[in-house]
Amino acid sequence: MGLYYAQKSDFGYSLLFCTEMMCDFKFYIGVIFLFFLVIFLMKIAFTPKRLKGIKWVVLCIVFAIFISISYTFFVSLFYSAELQGDILSYEIGFPIIETLYRTLILFFLLWISRSIFRAIFRNVNFVK
């Protein structure tokens, strides 16, 4: 019954959509967290400065949480604008925000994979 009333009001429906988007976005957070875990283990294995590696991983996890929360906020904001009848801001603003965040996540994952490959192949001599 509470779900029915939440769907009837604009704010409740926006919160419901926000929760749904957060569940969809957990996939990205899981992938980013998996990369952080791999880099953390590699930093412990390849560098003697373990404390510096731990600070770096904590910073990356905080960055991933910030991305997920801000993305969910902006998506719910544009969805609320659509429910209030402002279709133009939804149709223009939502794709811009979605593209911006997907590009940010893509560059972030590429940067992490670059760090992984540099850590793996740091001491490998290809020319003999």
| pLDDT tens-digit map of 40-87 | 666 665 555 555 556 666 667 777 777 777 777 777 777 777 677 766
Residue 126 counted as domain residue: no
Residue 101 counted as domain residue: yes
Q: Which residue range(s) make up the domain with 17?
A: 2-120
- Model pTM greater than 0.85? no
Residue 20 counted as domain residue: yes
Residue 125 counted as domain residue: no
Q: Give the phi and the psi of residue 25 in degrees, each rounded to 5.
A: -80, -15
How many C-beta atoms surround the C-beta of residue 64 within 10 A?
20
Question: Which residues are CB-contacts of 58 (< 8 A; sequence separation ≥ 6)?
Answer: none
| pLDDT for the residue numbered 32 | 67
Residue 127 counted as domain residue: no
The two tokens of residue 23 are: 């569940």
The two tokens of residue 13 are: 């429906």
Instruction: Please state the domain count of the chain.
Output: 1
**Is the predicted pLDDT of residue 8 greater than 50, yes or no?**
no
